[in-house]
Amino acid sequence: MPPSCPVGILSTILQRTVTLHPSSSVGSPLDMTLLEGSIGVEDLVLLEPLEQESLLKNLQLRFENKEIYTYIGNVLVSVNPYQQLPIYGSEFIAKYQNYTFYELKPHIYALANAAYQSLRVRDQDQCILITGESGAGKTEASKLVMSYVAAVCGKGEQVNSVKEQLLQSNPVLEAFGNAKTIRNNNSSRFGKYMDIEFDFKGSPLGGVITNYLLEKSRVVKQLKGERNFHIFYQLLAGASAQLLKALKLERETSGYAYLNQDVSRVDGMDDASNFKAMQNAMTVIGFSEEEIRQVLEVTALVLKLGNVELSDEFQANGTPASGICDGRGVREISEMVGLNSEELERALCSRTMETAKEKVVTALNVIQAQYARDALAKNIYSRLFNWIVKRINESIKVGTGKKKKVMGVLDIYGFEILEDNSFEQFVINYCNEKLQQVFIEITLKEEQEEYEREGIPWEKVDYFDNGIICNLIEHNQRGILAMLDEECLRPGVVSDSTFLAKLNQLFHKHAYYESKVTQNAQRQYDHTMGLSCFRICHYAGKVTYNVNSFIDKNNDLLFRDLSRAMWKAQNPLLRSLFPEGDPKQASLKRPPTAGAQFKSSVAILMKNLYSKNPNYIRCIKPNEHQQPGRFSRELVATQAQYLGLLENVRVRRAGYAFRQGYGSFLERYRLLSRTTWPHWNGEEREGVEKILRELSRSSEEVTFGKTKIFIKSPKTLFYLEEQRRLRIQQLATLIQKIYRGWRCRTHYQQMRKSQILISSWFRGNRQKKRYGKIKASVLLIQAFVRGWKARKEYRKYFRSGAALTLADFIYKSIAQKFLLRLRNNLPSTNILDKRWPAAPYKCFNTANQELQRLFHQWKCKKFWDQLSPKQVETLQEKLCASELFKGKKAAYPQSVPIPFRGDYIGLQGNPKLQKLKSTEHGPVLVAETVKKVNRGDGKTSSRILLLTKGHVILTDAKKYQAKTVIGLESVAGVSVTSFKDGLFCLHLSEISSVGSKGDFLLVSEHVIELLSKMYRSVLDTTQRQLLVTVTEQFSVRFKESNVVVKVIQGPTGNGNGKLSFKKKGSHSLEVTL
């Protein structure tokens, strides 16, 4: 029995003994099994002491051990790991699907499962609120929630189609709404709320997406190190050349003023493949090809607008005006979307003011025209994004007649405090104030309802109510947003300064409002407060806002001339984005401000959230550099303050930190009392009271409800856990003692039985073996005796040795017949005839092979004796060619039957060529016309090549004068291709006088013969073997530099050996066959 067996049995016994069956109540904040073997505190409600430092220390400890999720009751805190962790996928989905919220480690799947099960089983509409800084992982968290819900809900063709459409909305919205920022490579620059609608079975029917406050200023300007929205880079990188031509775009991002030139690519992000994924996602959602084309045309229009350059001009009366520097950009835009270029140019450079009685056209100066151009670009992109969201909603919407349940997922910006906070940060922080208000009110409401159900008196909880801050911002008559709208709408001189003065006058006594004026009135000095700033004391800390551009950003005006110009476009999508441009629908009424629109959207969102059961995910960014394993305590402390984590814990612990059903509590802690252990047959509440009475716990620490026990301090819970741990150790020791005794007794009994059985089998087997040996010996002796008697009886009838004589005679007769038959059937004396008769018997195989070898050698000797010295020389040259080129060069097989001539230019019969022969160089072995390749430009020129025993001579083909004489000792090697061409390179040693000029690249029609004879000449002259390299790519030395020659076979190459040379740069020559 293995040594690990006791531990395994003990573990099984303890699991069966003390397994906790957690209550399904949502109010139960912790399954106590999490305290065993957990890293840090898995639920911050049980954190002791409850301080910022201990909270950060606990988060850091869990993060460093790759535990990124922590609970605050039913709130999930998620720390971005910046790496892929093996805690996701179908295996973990199935695991968390079968357990309740607190039964396993904290995980986003647990929260998603709790929300989905509450929606499906209890028929409660749910919402999941995901907040945090940019880069904290909000988008990934929303994807994980949606993927979990898609995995656990129903199956079917229609259901799968709906799930696919919901999931494919992410790539589209990320392409048009996400961008690279300093903090995050895929930062959502808009808020998103998605309602996923289900039927009564829990299968998805569709959904509705609501977007909030797209950061459209990014369209025209980005900070250093940031990018514009992903779609622009995806379009330029992933679109085909044909599509780019149709959109009048170029692939390089450097050609567009609206794209930051510092950062055009993002590590780990493939814009081209993302563009294809975005197009596929739009097709899955239901966009038609025409709609996709129109969307891309409008996107290209925004890019092209940034390249419209404006210049200073003056009217006849000297008034400053503006004009288009180069009309090409405007014409391309007009052609692409079907606009009148002159009308568009006029709308960009002038403005029409209308009253009830007259119209006045005013020329815009350069600054005003640039503002109008950028405002148009921002409005087009913002309206395009809203149209895409609306179009997705049309595809995934649910019919009005179907009864449905709803789960909302809110992915929205977290609380922001930047160095320079403007209008965007103001409305974002206002939204977070409202979300904090919802959290506190709903949490306290749940606590109060549970207290009433359990019959426990409700005591007022002391907490910070941020309603006064919300009222400061959103009050209809005296709120900051109302004052901003009033300042934007009133006549007269309006500026950011007058707006700040109005705030100072209205809120100078407000406890949560500060400015330079209010500080001076109270005789306070703060150098961080600027003259154009005001400060609000939010729940997460004080934030100083700079009022510059508040008026412009709140107005968000677009001149009517531009709206009318866009409405006249032939592109249906662009036309639909500007309905106010229709003269029939023209209105002099001022459109609502950005602040008013956002306030209205937040109000609708809050009403939506109040109607659902909320679930919270607080996302935290551990460091600014997106590095895995790095935890910046200062950064996390700031985010913990913004997210109000400590405030959340205090609200949770305002009454009782822990509550649990009597049955679950008794099941876990019954081993602490001799009365309830091991069995308790009474009422569950009575058993719990007996346990706590024997442990002498104070009545102030414990309160008994109708179905649950409530514990005020985590210390009491930790005391119970410690007592339980000690008791388990005692029980484990007892179980181990009993088990070890039982195991020893059982082992002894098994050993005794085994010994008796083995002894009996051994004795029996030994006797069987002894009997078998005796029997075998007797049979052997009997066999020998019978054989001896038989041989003695028959020996007198036969002569001794007759058998050997007969055998020898028979063998010799067979051998004689074999040799005589072989003599009469010998094959021909042709050395190429490989025929040979087979041996009649296997015993003659060796002798037959040896005879065949001797006969072949005799034929070869006879053939060799008949050859003349010239024929011997020719065969040796052919043998050398075979060794060098057989199986390596395609031209070799054609050269085998053709004899080597040596003289291919008529050297003997031409008097002009006689002077080329020189006695000092020796006899000429090869004389032929070759082509010398110029290494500089690839052109060829004819040369006569003479090969002697000691030299290679290159001669002018026209003047018959020696150009170059190369000693064979200077030839270092030869490179030749494997094709049927005659290209080869003579590599010369650098130390020789000729070799200092470089190598020679030549083309010969008899390259096999030339190189074979050169190889033999080098061997005879220098007693070394010439290195012949067969390759398609080799290097040719040219004075101080090298040229790489690459030989390729062209697409129409038929192997006829014709070559074409093409220079590729300064160091490469391409030869096409």
**Which pLDDT does position 905 carry in this prediction?**
85
For residue 545, give the 3-state DSSP assignment. strand
* pLDDT at 32 (0 to 100): 40
Where b means 16+ CB within 10 Å and e means fewer, 662-678 reads: bbbbbbbbbbbbeebee
**How many Cα atoms occupy the beta-carbon half-sphere of 362 within 13 Å?**
12
Burial tier of 780 (Cβ tally within 10 Å: 0-12, 13-18, 19+): exposed
Contact 702, 712 (CB under 8 A): yes
Q: What's the DSSP call for residue 257?
A: T
Instruction: Give Cα 789 distance to the centre of its chain.
Output: 93
Q: How far is CA 179 from CA 82, 295, 305, 620, in A?
A: 17, 18, 20, 19
Cβ contact 199:403 at 8 Å: yes
Q: What are phi and psi of 1029, to 5 degrees?
A: -110, 125
Query: Please, are residues 442 and 614 in contact by the beta-carbon 8 Å criterion?
Result: yes
Kindly give the pairing relationship between strand 1027-1030 and strand 971-976.
parallel
The two most distant CA atoms of the chain are separated, in Å, by 158
Q: Are strands 187-188 and 178-179 parallel, antiparallel or unpaired?
A: antiparallel
Strand partners, 1030: 976
Q: Give the C-alpha separation, 784 to 402, whole Å.
A: 104
pLDDT for the residue 672: 84
Residues contacting 996, CB < 8 A, separation 6+: 990, 1039
Q: Distance between terminal CA atoms of the chain? A: 76
- Burial string for 200-232 (b: 16+ CB within 10 Å, else e) reads eebbbbbbbbbbbbbbbbbbbebeeebbbbbbb
Instruction: Determine phi and psi for 574, rounding to 5 degrees.
Output: -60, -40
Of 364, 327, 360, nearest to 342 (Cα)?
Answer: 327
Sign of the alpha-carbon dihedral angle for 169, 175, 181, 183: positive
Distance separating alpha carbons of residues 558 and 298, to the nearest angstrom: 17
> 497: exposed, middle or buried (C-beta count within 10 Å: 0-12, 13-18, 19+)?
middle
Taking the C-alpha atoms of residue 82 and residue 629, their distance in angstroms, rounded to an integer, is 8
- Which residues, listed in sequence order, are joined to residue 411 by a DSSP beta bridge? 130, 192
List C-alpha distances in Å: 180 to 227, 251, 252, 259, 1025. Answer: 5, 20, 18, 12, 65
Element spanning 179, H or E:
strand 178-179
97: left (phi over 0), alpha (psi -120 to 50) or beta: alpha
CA 477, CA 112: separation in Å to the nearest integer? 41
Whole-number Å distance between alpha carbons of 218 and 489: 26
Distance of CA 1065 to the CA centre of its chain: 37
Give the single-character DSSP code of 219.
Answer: G
* Token output for 278: 């975005």
Q: Where are the alpha helices (DSSP H) in 419-559?
A: 423-454, 467-474, 480-489, 496-507, 516-521, 550-555
Q: Which helix (H) or strand (E) holds 374?
A: helix 366-396
What single DSSP character describes residue 821? H
Q: Report the candidate in 536, 551, 563, 562 with the shortest Cα–Cα distance to residue 594.
A: 551
> What whole-number distance in Å separates Cα of residue 417 and Cα of residue 428?
10
CA distances from 347 to 248, 298, 353, 357, 643 (A): 22, 18, 12, 21, 46
List, run by run, the mean pLDDT of 10-residue segments along the chain (1073 residues): 34 32 34 58 84 92 93 89 90 86 85 88 85 83 88 75 83 91 82 85 85 86 88 92 91 88 82 93 92 93 90 79 83 86 84 71 84 89 92 84 80 79 88 83 75 77 78 89 86 84 90 89 84 89 89 81 85 88 70 84 86 88 89 90 80 73 84 84 84 77 84 78 86 92 94 94 94 94 92 72 79 89 85 85 88 88 82 82 87 85 80 64 84 81 88 84 85 90 88 76 89 89 89 84 86 68 82 84
**Please, is 805 exposed, middle or buried when counting C-beta atoms within 10 Å of its C-beta (0-12, 13-18, 19+)?**
exposed
Two tokens at 379?
């409005």
- Whether omega before 678 lies within 30 degrees of 0, making that bond cis, reads yes
Q: Which residue has the tokens 């903090």?
A: 183
Which H or E run includes 775?
helix 714-794
Q: How far is it, in rounded angstroms, from Cα 992 to Cα 973?
A: 14
Contact (CB, 8 A) for 871 and 959: no
Beta bridge partners of 352: 361
Measured distance CA(894)–CA(1008) in Å, rounded = 10
> Measuring CA to CA, which residue among 661, 741, 671 is closest to residue 14?
671
The answer to whether the peptide bond before residue 49 is cis (omega within 30 degrees of 0) is yes
CA separation for the pair 624, 943 (Å, rounded): 72
Residue type, 624: E
Find, among 1043, 1021, 1023, the residue nearest to 1034 by Cα: 1043
Query: Annotated active-site positions, please?
Result: 134-135, 139, 184, 187-188, 414, 416
Bridging pattern class, strands 1041-1048 and 1068-1072: parallel
Global confidence as pTM: 0.61
State phi, psi for 209 to the nearest 5 degrees.
Answer: -110, 135
Alpha carbon separation from 80 to 11, 68, 114, 132, 622 (Å, rounded):
35, 7, 22, 10, 7
Q: Of 600, 343, 322, 333, give the one whose Cα is nearest residue 481.
A: 600
DSSP-derived secondary structure letter, 1036: E
